[in-house]
Chains A and B, each alone.
Chain A
Amino acid sequence: MSGIGLVLNVAKDALLSQQYALGVTGHNIANVNTEGYSRQRVDLEAKEAVPYAGVLMGRGVGVAGVTRIADRFIETSISERTSDMTSLEEAEGYMRVLEGIFNETSGNGLSAQMAEFWNGWHDLANNPPGDPERAMLYERGVQLTDAFNSLDADLAQFSTELNLSINTGVEEVNEITAAIADLNTRIVGLESGRVANDLRDKRTVLLRGLSEYLGCKSFEQENGSVTVTMSKGCVLVQGNEHYNMTTVDNKIKLKSSIVSEVDLTASITGGKLGGWLDMRDELIPEYQADLDASARSFMGEVNKVHSEGMGLSYFDSATTGTYTADSSGMLSTLDFGQGIDYDKDLTVWIHDSKGTADSIDDDIDSITIDMGISSPQSPLIGGAGTADRTYRFTVTQGGAVGTDTQIIRWESFDLSGNPVANGEVGGVPGINGVGSYDVEGPGPMQLTVADGDTLVEGNTFTINTSDTGAPIPLSATVSGTGNSALDTYVFKVAGGGGGTIGTDAVTLNWSNTITSGTIEVPAAGGDVAVDGMIVNFTSGLLFEDDTFVVTTDSNRNPTLTTSSDWHWTINSLAGQINKEITDESLTGLTASGATALTLTPDSSDYSYAFSDDGSNVLAALGINTFFAGREAGTMTVNSLLDNNDNIAAARVDPEGALVVGDNSNALDMADLQYEEVSVAKWSYSRGSAATSKDVLCSLEDYCHALASSIGVKSESISREKEYSESIVNNMTEIRNSISGVSLDEEMTNLIKFQHAYVAAAKLISVADEMLTRLIDVK
């Protein structure tokens, strides 16, 4: 090629290259505000020289490519840190709202309402018969329950909102992963010796978007596609494939072709989803459980004191307990059955002519119920009764074996629960000394009593017989510690789940105050784990709906009581009350009920009252209590108090009188505010069972501590968020410093390339002149 041609060619290439460079600079300027855009640079290179006239002659400039200036390490770090930040941002937002809900700083919070409630009792103590004081106290009780109810409702609302957010978040994640998979396909297709700069920027933005929803990691493959994984090694995107997450029953699951469906609810950390899940599964339930615990303790303690007193007059109409036991009727299955003290008594008064309690005369009489439990607690049953029966034994005449005569009544029921036979153990005269006494059947079935045994009237137990008539009580031990302190775990044989332990698998449903579940006793019996405890089943014949309970103490140590141990049921208590009334040659009051106790005066001439209930059985039954309900959400003022006269400021005096100016119960109630009571403190952790411990503090202090703990949590989340925000800001600054477009820089480049372009154009005109001159020579 001739020299001039070369010059022209060089000029042409230069012109085109500079024009290309101007184009890229323009692209940079245009995208100065585009999110995630990384600046691009034209790589110009000198073309390979060719030998000409003995020398190697340069052939001008060429465009080698367009490079995207980005640091993958920084981009990945930003994504990861963004997860932390958004997680904390969400948590912070919700904590701010929580702080508002629990705002005690304004003086209208829960503890202020409690203080008002106690003050109401002081005022009532100052004027026990006063109608305004009673009405005011009632109102304050209602306001306090409203405060508990609305806090509970607010927390529940939170959970609902969080569920919605989580569902939306999961859909969002699925859309993002789909888009990433799509970009993977396009990038792999476009890149063959080239780099798809803008698509990669787009993908980086999407990856960061994904990180905003959950903590994840991305790896670039050799072919340019990225693989996105998250906790538990689950793959969200691989090549052109993406795997959708689903929400089922508030659980987040991932179904991929590689692994079977995995539950990710407990393992998603970081990102908005992580933040929401932390709130929904850790913080909110914890505050809710603590709120419930304080409501429970509050109701329990107030009810205990309230049921010891009486209103202005005896009750003249039927009262039914607001708390119900389960179908077994065992007192320990009552919501507040844990608080019953079986070493104490209860006194019931009956007034046999309707009138005010002031006209006290001989018409008032009392009965006392000994709420004790027979010893030993597990009665000894042997021999063989009728096959396939449930036998129920009830002590109708108690006393110490060897000194008195005791009578135990037995009843048998067939598998459908129909009564079949009944009688008295040992027949007439009953149990009159150490030995074994016949019940019935071919064996016959026998009850054995030993020296030192005590039988308490009204105690009862049941036992099932096998198809050979052998009585098989449940034999089980419990070890470990329950997760919930001072609680009652009620175990109940599920529908169709009965059988003989050691032969059949038995299904049991269990529940305590905050949670419930189902366990399967293997056919061979043995250990079964329940909420932190291990129940070891040795033997036993269990029919459908058979019940046993495990109670935990303040150290969470469990104790198991079966229905084949001596215990009280609502039915046996009602029977005992009726028996005592008859024994004392009284009339006028009838007790009844299977799952809730009802006391009914026989006619309008009779009225009744209670006193000296050291056993707290009335509080557990929900009779003559201030509050009804079992937790913060269901707490209400007992409808009994709709008649304000029933607010118990007084106590029945030893003669059975109710004195109008007596304020002894109100004074005791007012003292309750200073008393340290035991309240459960819960701690929740995602992925493991919640546990409670027992703390001793005044009820108001507990509320203060609850508010304070919300403040502490909120403060620490805010601080962490600020920290992680500053890291993300710093990294973004570094990223911008590397990849961001600088207009000043681009303007300079613009001038630079413009000048080069002008110069190249000049070269063409010079070559043109050279050619013209050459042609003119002819």
Chain B
Amino acid sequence: MVLFTEMVPLLDALADDLELAFPRLVEEHQGAVYVTALRCTGCRQAAEDIAQETFVRAYRSLAAWPAERIAALRPRAWLLRITLNAVRNRARDASRRPRTAELGDHHPEPAGGPEAAALGGERRELLAAALGRLPEEQRIPVVLRHVAGLRYDEIAEATERPVGTVKAQVHRGLRRLASLVDRTLLESET
């Protein structure tokens, strides 16, 4: 998309000229931030709001930090920690208000990429809904690992849990997902 003539490493560029480099940070990580918010909340509008909030907060933090702190950042894990906070805050606020939408609320799945095409619309809806039925402590690591593509050490940082715990939660989450999906299929067949 944008050609940055001198491909200075992103962290150096952020420390040097935040305003100039910030669009790059957004470009590089908006995918992971958005899809995490989407698959954790099940709502596209919420995902957009949360993603915007994440980056605005990130900008304000970066603007206040000295260069050394910026240089020590692991941007993706850091941004997703902000995202997860926003997701949790939203869920907390929503629980204080009458629920108007179910998790996994139905907006028809739009066209995704090739993987999505390979999966098929119905199957995707099924999976997305099943994700919504996982307990939060499994849903979040599963989404981070298998939808957003984070490494385990990044997930550990984003969720503030040890790597061992994260791995166990992903493992349990996948098994629960598999059984939820099978049960749904069984139910729909009987």
User: Are A and B interaction partners?
Assistant: no
- What is the interface of chain B, defined by CB distance below 8 A to chain A? none
